[in-house]
Structure 1
C-alpha cells in the first residue's frame, strides 16, 4: 500500500519494519526521502517506520488552496486511522516538528513519545510571515522549487556533509526531486503555515518530549528548541554539535543516537504483528 485518501486528495506514504509504529514528518519542500538515514536504524531497534509525504510534496497530490499545519496534522490522523493505529511515536523536523506538536496538542492520546527537531513553536510573527511570503514567491517563479533548493542547501546542511560523498549523492537526489516538485503547491503550504502558535499550550504536553537542535542551525536557532524544552514538563533537550538545519541528514549518527536513546529499543516480544 502506497497511498491513502483524505477526502478527494491522494497522499503517498511508505512503511518499513514491524513493531511499535513511529511516524516521520519532513520539512517544507522536502519529502519522506529526507528520512533515509533513520529508517534502517529504527527498524533494527524494533519499530514499524511510517514515512508520509505531506500534501503538495513528493508523490502526494497537488494542492489548490493554502494548507496549514493543522491541515497536515489532519492528514496524519487520517493515515493513522487508515492503518488502524491508535497510538504512535511521532518524529518531526522543521515544518514536520510543528505538525508533530499540533498532533500532540490536539489528540495527545494518539502520541506515545514525541520528538521535535530543528523546529518552531510559532510562525505567528511578522518576521516569519515575511520569510514565508518570500518562499511562496520563489516557489511560484519559473523553476522555483529548484531555485529555492539550490539557494537554501548551504544553510540546510553543514559544510562537512556537503563535500562528502554522501552529501553529493543527497544533493543530486534532492535536486532532482525539487525539479519535479509543484511550485504552486509548495507556495500554498508556505502561505498556509503562517499563524501557527503553540507557545502558550506547550506546557500542557504530558507525554515524554525530546527537542533536538543543531548547533549551526541558522533557520531554527538552538535557543528556540531550548525555549520550547523549558516550557514542557517532561522534556529533554539535545543540541547536536556541528549540525545545521536538517540535522538528521548532516549529522545522522548523532541524531540517530539521540532518537533511539530517547525512544528505546522495542523488546523483540512486542515487535511481531
Structure 2
C-alpha cells in the first residue's frame, strides 16, 4: 500500500511539472503520436510548441562568435525573503521539470531563476561544441542581466557539473550549492574509451522512443510510474519531426562529449562554497557505462558512496543519502529532499 501511495505522489508531481504540455496534447486538432494515429505538429528544436509552467524570457548571448539566446524563467515569491535560488537542470530534461521545486522555494520566500543552458530546452542549439566554461559564463551573465549579485544554486545531474564549475570560477557569486544527484563525481575517462562524435550521433539517431523509455527507467527513474515518464520522452522525440532535428542531435551529442572530456571531480575538493550533496541511495547513473569494458562497468556509478567520500575533502562539504530514491531524487523523495534543501539554504 505504501508503494502505491508513493507512486501516486510521484505521478502527481510530474503532472505538475508538465501540466501545460499535457493540456496542449488535448487541444482539438492536435493528434497523438501513438501507432496508427497521425502525429502532432513537431516541436521546434528550441522546444517551440512545448509549454513551460511559467513565462519564458530570452537573453541574447554570444558564444565563440555565434549569436545565441538563453531561455530562462524568473519567478517571484509571494512574500520575498531577499534571497535568490537558481535551479540548474540535467542533460535529459527540460528545465520545466523543476516545477515542484519552484513551488516549494517560492512558497518559502525565494525568488527562483531557472535557465535552460545553451544547447538545451528552449535555448539556442549552437553549431559548435559545448563547454562547461561557456555554460558557467553564460549563467553568470544571466545573473548580471537580472541584477543579482549572489545566489544559491540547486543543481541536478549534469547541472551539478555546471554548478561546480560556477562555484570554482565565481565563488563570490554563490552562497550555497546543493548538488542533487549530480553526475561527474568520477572521471569517466578512467573507464570509457573515447568515442567519435559521428559514431555517437549515428547511435543516438537510431534510438527509439521505447528504447529511450527503457534508458530512463533503468538509469534515472525506476520508481516513477511509466505513464508519468511519457512527457519526458515526448519532449525529446517530438523534435525528430523538425527539419532542424540534425542540428539538435549534434548539440545533444556534444553535451555528452562535454561530460566525458571535461571532468569536474578533481575540482570538487578545492571548492570553498558551502556544499550539500543530496543523493539517492539507488542512483547508479554513469554516463558512458555501456561503452566501458565489461569488467569495469560495475565499478562505475556508485554515486552515493562517491559523494560521501568527496564531502570530507571539501572545506565546507556534507552529504546526505536518501534511501529508496534514485537519480531523480527530488521527485523520488520530495518531502525528505525539500526538508534537507530548505534547512541547508537557511544556514
Shift of 1:248: 1.4
Unmatched runs of 5 consecutive residues or more in structure 1: 266-273
Shift of 1:45: 0.9
- Is the Cα–Cα contact under 8 Å of residues 122 and 195 in structure 1 kept in the other structure? no
2:205 aligned residue (102, 119, 141): 141
Q: 1:166-177 residue pairs with structure 2 within 5 A?
A: 168-169=227-228, 171-177=229-235
The 2-side partners of 1:222 and 1:124 are apart by 16
The 2-side partners of 1:74 and 1:210 are apart by 23
Normalised by the length of structure 2, the TM-score is 0.68
User: Which residue does the alignment assign to 1:231?
Assistant: 313
The 2-side partners of 1:135 and 1:90 are apart by 35
Q: 1:1-273 residue pairs with structure 2 within 5 A?
A: 2-7=57-62, 8-18=67-77, 19-119=82-182, 120-123=184-187, 125-128=189-192, 136-137=200-201, 140-142=204-206, 144=207, 146=209, 149-154=212-217, 155-159=219-223, 161-162=224-225, 168-169=227-228, 171-181=229-239, 182-219=248-285, 220=301, 221-264=303-346
- Is the Cα–Cα contact under 8 Å of residues 85 and 111 in structure 2 kept in the other structure? yes
Greater relative contact order structure (CA < 8 Å, 6+ sep): 1
The 2-side partners of 1:224 and 1:242 are apart by 17
Normalised by the length of structure 1, the TM-score is 0.85
Shift of 1:211: 0.7
The 1-side partners of 2:197 and 2:278 are apart by 27
Shift of 1:206: 2.1
Shift of 1:151: 2.9
Worse-matched range after superposition: 149-158 or 110-119: 149-158
- Is the Cα–Cα contact under 8 Å of residues 138 and 148 in structure 1 kept in the other structure? no
Shift of 1:99: 0.5
Please tell me the root mean square deviation across aligned C-alpha atoms, in Å. 2.5
